[in-house]
């Protein structure tokens, strides 16, 4: 009769890996042109998962708690969230304080381009 051996089940913090993966994805999205729109929700989900992972890491014992991974995910996602908010606030201030919105009411493409160039150059000077 074969001997029955019980395997010791180790617990690992899988939420930390998801949080870090999403934090890195959010940071990459922030630096892409069209992805900056999606960086805020991805960073928020990563921030929530990071907090959950830190709580889980404190409850686990052993070498595989992934506490440092959870904290790293928290820092990256918080930085991405702050940078994204600053970026969108800057864009909003630029658009609302300039005549850029009025340029989109012009129907002729050449006049619209000229209006946009004048608005942007006026704002930069």
Q: Is residue 114 part of a domain?
A: no
Q: Let me know if residue 66 belongs to a domain.
A: yes
Is 8's pLDDT higher than 60?
no
pLDDT in tens, 70-98: 999 999 999 999 999 998 888 888 777 76
Residues spanned by the domain of 82 = 14-95
Mean pLDDT of 110-125: 77
| 40 in any annotated domain | yes
For tokens 């506490």, what's the residue?
67
Average pLDDT over residues 113-118: 82
Q: What is the pLDDT of residues 25-67, one digit of tens each?
A: 999 999 997 778 899 999 999 999 999 999 999 988 877 789 9
Q: How many domains does the chain have?
A: 1
Q: Is residue 37 one of the residues assigned to a domain?
A: yes
Domain for residue 86, yes or no?
Answer: yes
CA–CA distance from 123 to each of 3, 49, 85, 93, 116 (Å)?
80, 40, 21, 11, 11
d(CA 57, CA 64): 9
Could you give the CA distance from residue 16 to residue 58 in angstroms, rounded to a whole number? 12
Q: Is residue 115 part of a domain?
A: no
Is 3's pLDDT higher than 60? no
Residue 5 included in any domain: no
Tell me if 61 is assigned to some domain: yes
């Amino acid at each position: 009769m074969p001997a029955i051996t019980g395997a010791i089940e180790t617990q690992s913090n899988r939420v930390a890996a998801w949080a870090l993966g999403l934090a890195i994805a959010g940071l990459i999205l922030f630096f892409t042109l069209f992805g900056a729109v999606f960086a805020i929700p991805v960073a928020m989900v990563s921030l929530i998962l990071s907090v959950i992972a830190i709580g889980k890491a404190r409850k686990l014992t052993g070498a595989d708690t992934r506490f440092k991974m959870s904290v790293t995910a928290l820092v990256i996602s918080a930085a991405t969230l702050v940078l994204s908010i600053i970026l969108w606030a800057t864009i909003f201030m630029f658009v609302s304080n300039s005549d850029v919105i009025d340029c989109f009411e012009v129907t002729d493409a050449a006049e619209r381009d000229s209006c946009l160039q004048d608005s942007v150059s006026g704002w930069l000077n």
